[in-house]
């Protein structure tokens, strides 16, 4: 949610799932998004809304679950955020580690 507003502004031709405007979304969408962040329960929401790319906070359960999912590829990571893309969407056949600045644990 924290990065959604920036993405809407900087990439207006791309659809963004949620941003920081709480009043713009039904409560059930916000709950599902928060559930994914806090507990890593993302499969249903990604499937239901066709989510193929996610910017997530490193160190959260969602980060760990996406990192372990062979259908998702981490394409960027730094000390605070990581970007995951569904492998079928990128043409990447296998998982690969991407170099990161500052923290080799991510």
User: 98 lies in a domain?
Assistant: no
* 99, part of any domain: no
Helices (H), 40-83: 43-49, 61-68
pLDDT at residue number 27: 81
- pLDDT on residue 3: 67
74 is a domain residue? yes
Cβ atoms of 58 and 82 within 8 Å: the answer is yes
Q: What is the pLDDT of residue 2?
A: 60
Cα(43)–Cα(86) distance, integer angstroms: 12
- For residue 44, being part of any structural domain is answered with yes
Domain range enclosing 35: 4-90
d(CA 54, CA 2): 12
- As given in the structure block, the two tokens for residue 25 are 């979304």
pLDDT tens track for 38-73: 888 899 888 988 888 888 889 899 999 999 999 999
Instruction: For residue 81, tell me if it sits in a domain.
Output: yes
**The pLDDT value given to residue 19:** 59
pLDDT of residue 88: 73
Q: Report d(CA 11, CA 62) in Å as an integer.
A: 23
Under the banding of pLDDT at 50, 70 and 90, the label for residue 97 is: very low
Q: How many structural domains comprise the chain?
A: 1
Instruction: For residue 106, tell me if it sits in a domain.
Output: no
- Asked, for residue 23, whether it belongs to a domain, the answer is yes
In a domain, 10, yes or no: yes
The model's confidence at residue 29, banded by pLDDT at 50, 70 and 90, is confident
Would you state the pLDDT for residue 62?
A: 92
């Amino acid at each position: 949610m924290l990065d959604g507003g920036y993405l809407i502004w900087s990439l207006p031709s791309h659809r963004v799932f949620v941003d920081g405007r709480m009043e713009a979304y039904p409560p059930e969408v916000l709950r599902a998004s928060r559930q994914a962040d806090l507990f890593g329960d993302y499969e249903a929401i990604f499937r239901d809304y066709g989510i193929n790319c996610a910017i997530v906070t490193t160190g959260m359960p969602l980060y760990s679950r996406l990192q372990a999912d062979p259908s998702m590829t981490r394409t960027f990571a730094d000390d605070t955020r990581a970007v995951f893309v569904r492998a079928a969407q990128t043409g990447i056949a296998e998982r690969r580690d991407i170099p990161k600045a500052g923290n080799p644990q991510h």
